Amino acid sequence: MTSALTLTRTTIGQKVVVAVTGLILFGFVIGHFLGNLILFVGPEAFIDYGWTLKHNPPLLWGTRITLLVAVVTHIGLTMSLARRNASARPSRYKKAREDQVTSYAARTMVISGPLLAGYILFHIAHFTAPGLAFGGAEFDHVNIYANVVSSFNVWWVAAIYVFANAMLGLHLFHGAWSALQSVGAQHPRYDSIRRNLAIGLAVMVAGGNMMIPLAVRGGLVGDAEQLRAAAEHAEELRAEAGMLTGDHDDVSGEELE
Amino acid sequence: MSDDTIDLKLFVWRQEGPDAPGDFQDYSKYAKGVSTHASFLEMLDLVNERMSADGERPIVFDHDCREGICGCCGAVINGIPHGPQKQTTTCQLHMRQFENGAEIYVEPFRAGAFPIVKDLMVDRSSFDDIIQAGGFISVRTGSAPDANEIPIPKESADASMDAATCIGCGACVAACPNASASLFTAAKLAHLNMLPQGQAERYKRTRLMIQAHDDAGFGGCTNHRECEAACPKGISTDFIARANRDLLVATVTGKDGRLV
């Protein structure tokens, strides 16, 4: 273990840690994306999904702590590496160095990274704590279906999510491919699929997430009937929880939180 | 041979010393009537002769074999190390690659670890430091073995040879957005680490050479693969993944004791 800790003494070791934390975050993003897709199953299923997660403290807090450690390590080491990289060429080329093969995603990692960090803070504030209401709707800690629909009915909230997921796609594409390179997951037999795998996963996650605000804007998700069903189902869950605690009236959003 | 000649708009970086300010000078008047059969360095020779005749200080640039195998020459030509032709050193780049009237900007390889000596000449001693850290075999491997005495899979021998084609010119560093020498270091590691004689010191070598790379002030790899595109030998960035894997094994298992 002490040997593993000396990894951060070299730039490559630091990159390995950035890669591993990045892969943890990538894994979460895939899980999160699959959860998001439940929205298309129907209001009841989506609300049940949220309810189940929320009432599973070990899973909830285990994930939160893992993600927090991963994200702080990922950003911290990346910033230190980026500073080092920026200072490795103190005198710039006067006639601009020509990029021959690098990708847009690779060149914009230092931009997509901070933008994503900002977006994640916004996203957490929006849907978790404190839970921001957009478009005049009340934030509802149980009826997450209504939260999604009312938020994305506001055009600029939907626009932020679409833009952020485009950034996420770029970051995941270069990140996934780079991470495999950094941990040395390379073999002539599998090299051709590494890049395609990175592109496939990035497009799947970013494209799938973008479908949600677009579906709400396009009226595919969140019609009056679905919203009524969602509200009814949320009430049922509240009532059930109230019966379990023996105090129906006092079960408020704060307690469920 | 035809006797085609071209006139160039030539701008060359002039700098008196490592800390002196430098700038581009227009030498178009000395770069007229250049044979298209001349190599890039022969074009600079011609310009230098004419400048000397005019009493100007000739342009300083590194060169030795002029056959593309020594790794001495190298300049950034129109933003690309060794110029526009793929897998070609500056000395093997010929003027037929340029149109008549072409604008050509020539400047040195730029990196903090490659201080400019003068004009286009840079000090690449930091590469020697990386080699001195572990780019050799010090265990006894016996005298020259009989052919095929040591079994080596063809794929390994080929890959090791691909890595060994590195001439240490530094184009990878010059092309890298982070001025990283990852490709050079990885090629030198793979060259020895993929052969039986290199196994005894494999992990120690990996740790020490990568440490020397970092100590020299090179940046880290962010997988742009610009080095591979600029490399006159076309060395693959797959070797970087291989070096990363060996470093990971060396560090996590502590196979060879401490790093420094």
Per-residue confidence (pLDDT) for residue B140, from 0 to 100? 84
| Lowest-confidence segment of A194-203, A216-225, B71-80, B140-149 by average pLDDT | B140-149
Q: Give me A70's structure tokens.
A: 């991963």
* Same-domain check for residues B131 and B244: yes
How big is the CA angle at B98 (ends B96 and B103), to the nearest 5 degrees? 150
This model of the complex carries an ipTM of 0.86
Task: With cut-offs at 50, 70 and 90, classify the pLDDT of residue A8.
Answer: confident
A217-228 per-residue burial string, b: 16 or more CB within 10 A, e: under 16: beeebbeeebbe
Per-residue confidence (pLDDT) for residue B22, from 0 to 100? 94
Which fold is adopted by the domain A9-88+106-246?
Answer: 3 helical TM bundles of succinate and fumarate reductases (1.20.1300)
Task: With cut-offs at 50, 70 and 90, classify the pLDDT of residue A245.
Answer: very low
- Domain, as residue range, for B160: 124-253
Residue B258 belongs to some domain of the structure? no
* Same-domain check for residues B129 and B238: yes
For residue A148, the one-letter residue type is V
Q: By CA distance, what is A8's nearest residue in B?
A: B251
* Same-domain check for residues B247 and B131: yes
How big is the CA angle at B120 (ends B118 and B126), to the nearest 5 degrees? 80
* Same-domain check for residues B147 and B38: no
The domain that holds B35 is classified in CATH as 3.10.20.30
Tell me the shortest Cα–Cα distance from B21 to chain A, in angstroms.
10
* Same-domain check for residues B226 and B179: yes
Query: Three-state DSSP class for A164?
Result: helix
Residue B259 belongs to some domain of the structure? no
DSSP B37: T
Q: Give me A222's structure tokens.
A: 């969140």
Neighbours of B167 (CB within 10 A): 22
Task: With cut-offs at 50, 70 and 90, classify the pLDDT of residue B255.
Answer: low
Q: What is the mean pLDDT of residues A165-178?
A: 96
Residue B154 belongs to some domain of the structure? yes
Per-residue confidence (pLDDT) for residue A76, from 0 to 100? 96
Tell me the shortest Cα–Cα distance from A10 to chain B, in angstroms.
6
Task: With cut-offs at 50, 70 and 90, classify the pLDDT of residue A152.
Answer: very high
Pick from B117, B137, B165: which residue ends a domain?
Answer: B117
The domain that holds B201 is classified in CATH as 1.10.1060.10
Q: What is the mean pLDDT of residues A143-171?
A: 95
The residue with greater pLDDT, B48 or A132, is B48
* Binary contact (A94, B113; C-beta < 8 A): no
What lies within 8 Å, CB to CB, of B226 at 6+ separation is A99, A100, A101, A102, B175, B176, B177
Q: Give me A12's structure tokens.
A: 């490559």
Q: What is the mean pLDDT of residues A2-11?
A: 74
Residue B209 belongs to some domain of the structure? yes
* Binary contact (B13, A94; C-beta < 8 A): yes
Per-residue confidence (pLDDT) for residue A3, from 0 to 100? 59
Residue B63 belongs to some domain of the structure? yes
* Domain boundaries of chain A, sorted by first residue: 9-88+106-246
Candidate from B76, B113, B248 with C-beta closest to A184: B248
* Same-domain check for residues B109 and B171: no
Q: What is the mean pLDDT of residues A215-238?
A: 93
* Binary contact (A95, B111; C-beta < 8 A): no
Single pTM value for the model: 0.91
* Same-domain check for residues B109 and B223: no
State the Cα–Cα distance between residues A183 and B241, nearest whole angstrom: 7
Task: With cut-offs at 50, 70 and 90, classify the pLDDT of residue A192.
Answer: confident
Q: By CA distance, what is A14's nearest residue in B?
A: B220
Q: By CA distance, what is A191's nearest residue in B?
A: B238
A100-118: per-residue pLDDT in tens?
899 999 999 999 999 999 9
Candidate from B217, B219, B248 with C-beta closest to A16: B248
* Same-domain check for residues B136 and B182: yes
Kindly state the percentage of chain A with pLDDT values over 70.
Answer: 92
Q: What is the mean pLDDT of residues A3-26?
A: 88
Q: What is the mean pLDDT of residues A215-223?
A: 92
Pick from B83, B117, B151: which residue ends a domain?
Answer: B117
Residue B108 belongs to some domain of the structure? yes
* Same-domain check for residues B240 and B213: yes
Is the backbone peptide bond immediately before A57 cis, with ω within 30 degrees of 0? Answer: no
How big is the CA angle at B197 (ends B194 and B198), to the nearest 5 degrees? 50
Q: How many CA atoms lie within 13 A of B178 on its CB side?
A: 24
Per-residue confidence (pLDDT) for residue A250, from 0 to 100? 44
What lies within 8 Å, CB to CB, of A236 at 6+ separation is none
Give strand ranges (E) for A204-249.
none
Pick from B117, B142, B166: which residue ends a domain?
Answer: B117
* Binary contact (A90, B241; C-beta < 8 A): no
Domain count, chain B: 2
